[in-house]
Amino acid sequence: MVGRKDSQLPWIPANFLALPPQQSDLSTAGAFLIPVPCDSTTSVRSGSRLGPAAIIEASYALEDYDWELDQDLSRVGIHTSPALEPHTGDPAQMVDRVRQAVEQYLSPGRLVGVIGGDHSVCIGSALAHLEHYPQMSALYLDAHADLKDEYLGTSWGHSSGARRIHERCPVSLAGVRVMAPDERDYLTERSIPLFGWPPPAGETVERFAERVAATLNHEVYISLDLDVLDPSLMSAVGTPEPGGMFWSDIMAILSRVAVGHRIVGFDVNELAPREGPPACSYTAAKLIYKIIGLTAASRHSPVSAKLP
Ligand SMILES: [Mn+2]
């Protein structure tokens, strides 16, 4: 077997941010990303199974140094795991597979994020995080309420994520523009905090973010469906919905949560790269980069920039 002899060649490491081994090592990284290329529970436009690979490839173009945060993300250390093979026979088993995968990577001082895939990936990830952070609440950023008890024959699909998580821990919904009457009733009966989008007339996004943050426990899990963004910014999703957030809006909300709370884990999901321009993959990659960066910069986070 011919070995690799010249380490001076400019190899591109196939991981998030294209980080060299010393900044992506399993034993020293502060952040861990698990690609989950599954979309078998999608109902409108499929293709989010291609999301994780598109996001990782787009991330090669991100600058390691985040000028806005004055922080070098590569010094946090980001380890990208191999992609998790989908279980297409049974959505419940897929949820449990994601739960086990996240569980393998979770330990104190680590931030674990899942890259979907459809939004059903949030269920297994949130359940695994709950085992470690029983006091956490979830911030569910989505154009849709995802409170259906069952949809298309399964209780574990991408339209039931918020419902399944809410059965185990408090959930706040933000960015919502669509829901069915049964979802509206479920939410009202249980007084689930709902922050539709746009904010009420005259309210700044900073004030909106304040109100959202006030409903969250100190430890927060973030589940971010990219369709919370406006389709003019993020058309490459399975179920685009007009009237969504723009970049400065989602940044204001994530920043506010990171400053006042301890972000313990996250998922970013529903990128279907063939449904929109390649810029969408880069935008999704930058959102993940910002979640890691904001978490690392927060005084509440155990994850900090410490690598050389
Ligand atoms: Mn959605």
Helix (H) or strand (E) holding 102: helix 91-105
Length of the chain in terms of residues written: 308
Q: Give residue 241 CA to ligand 1 midpoint distance, Å.
A: 8
How close is the Cα of 2 to the center of ligand 1, in Å? Answer: 48
What is the tens place of the pLDDT at every residue in 187-238? 999 999 999 999 999 999 999 999 999 999 999 999 999 999 999 999 999 9
Predicted confidence (pLDDT) per residue in 162-177, tens digit: 999 999 999 999 999 9
Residue 258 clears pLDDT 90, i.e. is over it: yes
Residues 121-156: tens digit of each pLDDT: 999 999 999 999 999 999 999 999 999 998 888 888
pLDDT of residue 307: 82
Give the distance (Å) from ligand 1 centre to CA of residue 275.
15
- Residue 239 C-alpha to ligand 1 middle, in angstroms? 6
Instruction: Return d(Cα 11, Cα 18) in angstroms, integer.
Output: 9
Record the pTM.
0.95
Comparison of pLDDT for 25 and 42, the residue scoring more:
25
CA 288–ligand 1 middle distance (angstroms): 17
CA of 145 to the centre of ligand 1 (A): 7
**Ligand 1 center from residue 260 Cα (angstroms):** 26
Number of C-beta neighbours around residue 219 at 10 A = 20
Looking at residue 7, its pLDDT comes to 65
Q: How confident is the model at residue 6 (pLDDT cuts 50, 70, 90)?
A: low
Separation in Å, CA 297 to CA 113, 260, 278, 280, 306: 17, 12, 29, 25, 11
- Sign of dihedral through CA atoms 251, 252, 254, 260? positive
Instruction: Give me ligand 1 centre to Cα 189, in Å.
Output: 22
* pLDDT value at residue 3: 53
Residue 65 pLDDT > 80, yes or no?
A: yes
Distance 94 CA to ligand 1 centre (A): 19
**How far is the C-alpha of 232 from the C-alpha of 139, rounded, in Å?**
24
What spacing in Å lies between the alpha carbon of 240 and ligand 1's midpoint?
8
Kindly report the average pLDDT of the chain as a whole number: 94
Which pLDDT does position 40 carry in this prediction? 82
User: How close is the Cα of 171 to the center of ligand 1, in Å?
Assistant: 15
Whether residue 13 is predicted with pLDDT greater than 60 in this model: the reply is: yes
Looking at the DSSP bridge assignments, the partners of residue 151 are: 154
Q: Identify the band that residue 43 occupies on the pLDDT scale cut at 50, 70 and 90.
A: confident
pLDDT band at 300 (very low <50, low <70, confident <90, very high): confident
Averaged over 230-252, what is the pLDDT? 97
Q: Where are the domains of the chain?
A: 40-297
pLDDT of residue 299: 87
- Digit-coded pLDDT (tens) for 71-122: 999 999 999 999 999 988 888 999 999 999 999 999 988 999 999 999 999 9
- Helix, strand, or coil (residue 220): strand
Domain topology for 40-297: Arginase; Chain A (3.40.800)
Is residue 4 very low, low, confident or very high in pLDDT (cuts 50, 70, 90)?
low
Ligand 1 center from residue 142 Cα (angstroms): 5
191 C-alpha to center of ligand 1: Å?
A: 21
Q: For residue 301, how far is its CA from the centre of ligand 1 (angstroms)?
A: 28
Is the Cβ–Cβ distance between 117 and 269 less than 8 Å? yes
Residue 1: pLDDT band (50, 70, 90) is: very low
Q: How far is the CA of 24 from the centre of ligand 1 (A)?
A: 31
Quote the ligand 1 centre to 27 CA distance (angstroms). 34
The token pair that represents 55 in the structure block: 């996001």
